Structure 1
Amino acid sequence: MNISKPRQDKTKSNIYRPDVDGLRALAVTAVIAGHTFENWFPRGYLGVDAFFVISGFVITLSLVSRSGTSFGLFLAAFSLRRIKRLFPALLVCIGLTCAILLFVDPAPKKSLLTGAAALFGVSNFSLYFQELDYFSPSIRYNGFTHTWSLGVEEQFYLLFPLLFWVAFKPSQSRSSRRLLCVILPLCMLSLLGFVFFQTRAPMAAYYLMPLRFWELGLGVASAAFLYHRPDRFYTVGRFLRAPLLMAAMTVVFILPYGSAVLGHLLIVALTTALLFAGGKETDQTQLLTNRPTRYVGNISYSLYLWHWPFLTFGLLAPSSIWANPLVSIGSALFVAILSYHFVEQPVQRIKTPRPRLWHFAGAFASVFCVIAVVAAGNSYRKSVWVSRFEAAMHPDFSPLPGSNLPFYPTCVVGDSIPLKPDTFDKCTFAPQTDGERTFWVMGDSHAGHLQGTFLKMRDDHGYGFHLVETPGMSFPVVETESFPARSTLFQQVRDRWKPGDIVVLSRLHFTRTDPLRVRETFNRWVKEVDTLADELAGSGIGLFLVGPPPMFMFEDIRACAPDDELSCSLQRGKLEEVVDVVHRDLGRIARKHENTEFIDLFSELCAETSDVCSPIQDGYFLFRDRDHLNVEGAARMSGRFQAAVEALN
């Protein structure tokens, strides 16, 4: 996120606005407070929305007064200014953060990949796909989660110069009216998309630039309006009172109201209003223009960059001083001050009157050098030192038999991974013994995490199996009215199964909340399964209904100590009541249909003789996260499945 202070010429439309620095300070304070004290500032993350509006406003004011030139020179100069303002502090932050993560993070891969993506301005895409990945660790343990906003802005800056040049024509008419006519309809389309996807694909609405364009675009439109009709701009501003607007923003950051869309709309509207309110120096409030506040605004870019890594260090090293959030933020503030004075400012002062090829080549070379050094450091770390945590972890999945392809994404179909013509064949494995049965495993990520079970049963008994996971979608599908990919896969299963084969259904039964609750779709799903059991019986097909494993409360498996089975344990009694609700209905269906068996995973993973459930056994993790088994944990369930096969016979 470009929240560094730009150098602006004091022209009629391009005047340094001290209140904008103060507004940056307010926004960065809200973001840090929201990330550090989420219970007190549940909507503090909306400060990023304020930054988007400010960024569009400032970047437009920096362009409208520039003299005409060719588009090539205009684009090169624009890009070089972006690189000078963003990359130096970002390179230093990512390089140093990665170095620390190699020592404190037992599983740094996701963070390192996100950091590399941030250097190319695409970390929002990386994080978007991680969020859609049900195997992804908690984003709070990713040292670069916050760089998604940088990706949004950098992608906007790839598009904006072209829009600005076509609409404003710096070398010709310099008409901001035309710029308004281009930007405002695009903002409206973006806003409609943002609202539409909030309920249908919230991660897309959150991370992707086209659905955030309206926020940056409103900043652009405000600056264009100031350039086009400064008198009207100032007139509107006189009716707005900055202290009241700031108080309203604070309320929005603090109150835990329900609608996410409403929060975004309010913050964007209030930020835009504050830009109007400070249009004239005489209308600017001391709350935003006093020296300490403006200084925080000046260092806000570096402060934003560094606050998240220090909070992550505290999670990864809970015995360190960084585990105290006040120490983490104090450390971030200290490093941000150093970054501003010794990285940002020196580079900003370097004169580059005319862009040269070596300027861009040097920037890219620096990026690749940082990536190469971090990759070499990670390779060296793995070659000379394996942490106790890494030694205790089993793989999430095994390579597919025969092809050695990875299970994810080969055998996963969802919103971001379409069903391919060869998915079924790649994820279906014939019995190793002629005439042996095949298991047809279907469901969401809780079907996928059973891969280790069926690999072991195939090795031990020669069974075949088919397993394609559909994250977030159970089978039968009850989460949506239809899911064509799953319907296609089931039809392919029907074309292949033979009498004696077994359909295996596994799904997420609980909400990921404290306390746990049975998901709202469960009763409807049970009715669909009851009907399916009758259909399968008519074809001579068996049915296994897999019960839930324990669901733990830890946020990330890295919060657990492999040598202490109680470190992430949970009282068995806390789970029994909600587990019994699921077991009762699954057991009822199994008793009703002769072709159906109920598989009790909970009792296998959380013995009745124990008072607690633990994701760790004998110093090794059986889970990859709070409710998904890893390949070893799943393999240990094969005995339960084999007993069910014998009972069905």
Structure 2
Amino acid sequence: MKYRPEVDGLRAVAVVPVILFHAGVGLFSGGYVGVDVFFVISGYLIAGILISELERDTFSIVRFYARRAKRILPALFFVMLLCVPAAWVIMLPTEFKDFSQSLIAVTLFSSNFLFWIESDYFAPAAELKPLLHTWSLAVEEQYYLVFPVFLYFFWKFGRSKVILSICLLALMSLAASEWAWRSSPSANFYLAPTRAWELLVGALCAFAPEMLRRRWMNWLSVLGLLMIVASVFIYDHSTPFPSLYTLLPVVGCALVILFAREDTWATFLLSRPICVGIGLISYSLYLWHQPLFAFARLQNSGEPAASLMSALTVATFGLAYFTWRFVETPFRSPEISHRAIFSMSGACGFVFLALGLTGHVSNGSPIGDGFSPAQRQLLAYSDYDSAGLYREGDCFLETAQVPSEFRDFCVSAENQMFIVGDSHAAALSVGLREVFDTGQLTAHGCPPLIGYSSLSQPNCSQILEHYFAELERLKPEQIILHAHWGSHVGKELFRLEATIAEIQRTAPASNILLVGGVPTWSPSLPAALVRARAQTEDERLLYSDIHDTALADAFLRNLATQYGVEFVSLIDALCEGQECLAVVGDAGEPVPLVWDYGHLTQAGSRYIADEILSPKLVE
């Protein structure tokens, strides 16, 4: 294919928002769409190469895979290799075990399956996985295994039938993604069948003739660029992805590829040396940014300072240039034979499989961990069994459960109070049920915010309607609203005002208590305690990043005053400055307040119910 500098510039438009999104720059809330732009570009370039070879009758599947191996594997393996010692030094055993599993999955081109099983891409825990970003490489690699064979087989039926087949497959994949974000949002995000249409749109661009009306090229290419940029700033973690929403960046990218030719404005912008330069090193930029950010977050036991994240972003560019110059470029040399690249890739893959299996089998401690019994006891909370305590599946609905699946015993006319909210409310309900006769209506990923939509729980609107119906029917004395409010600051939190107004309309005699968010720790409180080498018998306070929780508290406090309801700030009660209560229980048997980043343990929930909320609830 003819080299197009504007396509390299388009890569820069894709990778920079991804980096800034993972760096935590709030303005780039939709920066993850850069991956979708990469998919379209990849589909276009791969299809263009294959079409050219099929037309000249020089297609070779071995040569194709050798080119892909040269392009992808050397830099990937180089970054993975340097991640291993960093992970060994920084990570705790449970974290290193997870990292070891990701080494295996990346080597086998299946990391998207692993991360689909492990976590939501937008969950706080996902930011701590150094190889999380390789899910998109796995999708592309799986595409590479299928698409060349498909194209070779259908080529003999004629170009028009190939295009029709690709169109049908793309429409089927898009329809699957539109269905799956409602039923299986995590699988929809990570897996190839619901992502394939983005690559296939790029492939269709490679079939398009260069005989489009010239006077429209300028405006359509600029429109495409604006569509990509708009999605970066408009979308956020609550936008269903992939879905019809994804058409905005995908079609935008296709418009740029199709119409940014010759002297168009888009070509002028994208062909600037800085854009082309970033585009050339974009693959290495993509490989480096996530490990640097993840290790920084692990080492800091919280969100690093903006100055550190800025420095790491600059370091990402330096490492990317080095990797592109001394790893990527040399391995693309035609002097490296197919046999050599396959042999080197196989040898490296064997090493990473061995390292990964060792870390997995040894539970993350292949040569011992050096932790005290008390610290091992803390680390055991990573496997805390909260399902029964939170009444998961019954009064705490899981992903995709519908309101009719609430059990009859969750709420009744005998309940003194109801607690309503997300998983954090389910955690708080444990202690409240021990102290008061409390009904529970909670759902994973569903804060009590009217109009809120969630990828992790597509039925939030129906669930909230069910809450109101039950409140109107049973009219409890007290209604407690609680959630992970800090994660909704500056976005959906304003919706709480409508929720309170609706409750006051449906159950005017009920008292409303707003309970502020629990202090949070990253990646988890037990891990933070161990990293701090805390002695749980003595240390009760530990640094917590309460910034977002404090902002949410200020909003809740004002709202409570406006609507004449009660508000309790948990961070005011639990924290001194930015040091917060980390351990509860007797001196002989201390227990972490929360078992992960912010979900209460049974002892923590009982402590809050007894010591903080009881005085308010018995007034």
TM range (shorter): 0.5 to 0.7
Code of the aligned partner of 1:313: F
**Which residue in 2 is equivalent to 1:435?**
none
**Cα shift readout 1:328-371 (whole Å, capped 9, x = no counterpart):** 12322232233234433444342117998x68854642441342
**Per the alignment, in what secondary structure is the counterpart of residue 63 of structure 1?**
helix
Which of 479, 488, 496 is residue 513 of structure 1 equivalent to?
A: 488
Deviates more, 1:504-513 or 1:341-350: 504-513
CA distance in 1, matches of 2:83, 2:373: 19
**Which residue in 2 is equivalent to 1:633?**
604
Matched, 1:240 2:213: no
**Which residue in 2 is equivalent to 1:332?**
316
CA distance in 2, matches of 1:48, 1:318: 27
1:82–1:607 Cα change, 3 Å: same
1:630–1:87 Cα change, 3 Å: farther
**Which residue in 1 is equivalent to 2:15?**
28
CA distance in 1, matches of 2:271, 2:554: 58
**Which residue in 2 is equivalent to 1:369?**
354
CA deviation after TM superposition for structure 1 residue 53, in Å = 1.0
Matched, 1:121 2:109: yes
**Which residue in 1 is equivalent to 2:423?**
445
CA distance in 1, matches of 2:211, 2:378: 64
CA distance in 1, matches of 2:351, 2:286: 22
**Which residue in 2 is equivalent to 1:267?**
249
CA distance in 2, matches of 1:78, 1:213: 19
**Per the alignment, in what secondary structure is the counterpart of residue 383 of structure 1?**
coil
Contact 1:550–1:613, Cα closer than 8 Å, also in 2: no
Code of the aligned partner of 2:427: H
**Cα shift readout 1:482-538 (whole Å, capped 9, x = no counterpart):** 68xx99xxxxxxxxxxxxxxxx9996485732376674785599699989x9xxxxx
Which of 311, 315, 327 is residue 343 of structure 1 equivalent to?
A: 327
Which of 200, 217, 232 is residue 217 of structure 1 equivalent to?
A: 200
Matched, 1:550 2:517: yes
Code of the aligned partner of 2:278: V
1:511–1:341 Cα change, 3 Å: closer
**Per the alignment, in what secondary structure is the counterpart of residue 488 of structure 2?**
coil
CA distance in 1, matches of 2:154, 2:81: 39
Which of 308, 311, 317 is residue 293 of structure 2 equivalent to?
A: 311
**Which residue in 2 is equivalent to 1:296?**
278
**Per the alignment, in what secondary structure is the counterpart of residue 234 of structure 2?**
coil
Deviates more, 1:562-571 or 1:44-53: 562-571
**Which residue in 2 is equivalent to 1:256?**
233
Code of the aligned partner of 1:551: V
Which of 591, 594, 608 is residue 623 of structure 1 equivalent to?
A: 594
CA distance in 2, matches of 1:387, 1:274: 59
**Which residue in 1 is equivalent to 2:166?**
183
**Which residue in 2 is equivalent to 1:164?**
151
CA distance in 1, matches of 2:365, 2:46: 41
**Cα shift readout 1:418-462 (whole Å, capped 9, x = no counterpart):** 99xxxx9xxxxxxxxxxxxxxx9998524653698599x7xxx9x
Contact 1:510–1:518, Cα closer than 8 Å, also in 2: no
CA distance in 2, matches of 1:551, 1:638: 13
**Which residue in 2 is equivalent to 1:104?**
90
1:330–1:184 Cα change, 3 Å: same
**Per the alignment, in what secondary structure is the counterpart of residue 44 of structure 1?**
coil
CA distance in 2, matches of 1:282, 1:617: 59
**Per the alignment, in what secondary structure is the counterpart of residue 379 of structure 1?**
coil
CA distance in 1, matches of 2:5, 2:29: 28
**Which residue in 1 is equivalent to 2:456?**
none
Q: Which runs of 5+ in 2 are unaligned?
A: 408-417, 453-459, 468-478, 585-590
Code of the aligned partner of 1:273: L
Answer with 1 or 2: which has the greater Rg.
Answer: 1
1:637–1:113 Cα change, 3 Å: farther
5 Å-filtered alignment, 1:365-514, equals 365-372=350-357, 375=360, 378-380=364-366, 383-385=369-371, 395=381, 398-399=384-385, 414-415=398-399, 445-446=423-424, 449=427, 471-472=444-445, 508=483, 510=485, 512-514=487-489
CA deviation after TM superposition for structure 1 residue 188, in Å = 2.6
CA distance in 1, matches of 2:462, 2:126: 30
1:248–1:468 Cα change, 3 Å: closer
CA deviation after TM superposition for structure 1 residue 416, in Å = 7.0
CA deviation after TM superposition for structure 1 residue 290, in Å = 6.1
Q: CA RMSD in A?
A: 6.1
Code of the aligned partner of 2:87: L
TM (norm. structure 1) is 0.65
Deviates more, 1:571-580 or 1:202-211: 571-580
Matched, 1:575 2:553: yes
1:102–1:62 Cα change, 3 Å: same
1:251–1:604 Cα change, 3 Å: closer
**Which residue in 1 is equivalent to 2:49?**
62
CA deviation after TM superposition for structure 1 residue 155, in Å = 2.9
**Per the alignment, in what secondary structure is the counterpart of residue 305 of structure 1?**
helix
CA distance in 2, matches of 1:303, 1:572: 34
Which of 180, 191, 207 is residue 190 of structure 2 equivalent to?
A: 207
Code of the aligned partner of 1:300: S
CA deviation after TM superposition for structure 1 residue 287, in Å = 4.8
CA distance in 1, matches of 2:514, 2:305: 42
**Cα shift readout 1:382-435 (whole Å, capped 9, x = no counterpart):** 62257999886671564599xx9999999986237999xxxx9xxxxxxxxxxx
1:519–1:15 Cα change, 3 Å: same
TM (norm. structure 2) is 0.67
**Per the alignment, in what secondary structure is the counterpart of residue 240 of structure 1?**
helix
**Per the alignment, in what secondary structure is the counterpart of residue 449 of structure 1?**
helix
1:368–1:454 Cα change, 3 Å: farther
CA deviation after TM superposition for structure 1 residue 181, in Å = 0.4
Contact 1:547–1:583, Cα closer than 8 Å, also in 2: no
CA distance in 2, matches of 1:367, 1:281: 47
CA deviation after TM superposition for structure 1 residue 100, in Å = 1.2
Code of the aligned partner of 2:581: I
CA deviation after TM superposition for structure 1 residue 306, in Å = 0.4
1:287–1:550 Cα change, 3 Å: closer
**Per the alignment, in what secondary structure is the counterpart of residue 395 of structure 1?**
helix
**Which residue in 2 is equivalent to 1:154?**
141
**Per the alignment, in what secondary structure is the counterpart of residue 313 of structure 1?**
helix
Which of 76, 80, 100 is residue 94 of structure 1 equivalent to?
A: 80
CA distance in 2, matches of 1:281, 1:580: 55
Deviates more, 1:116-125 or 1:614-623: 614-623
CA deviation after TM superposition for structure 1 residue 54, in Å = 0.9
Contact 1:84–1:347, Cα closer than 8 Å, also in 2: yes
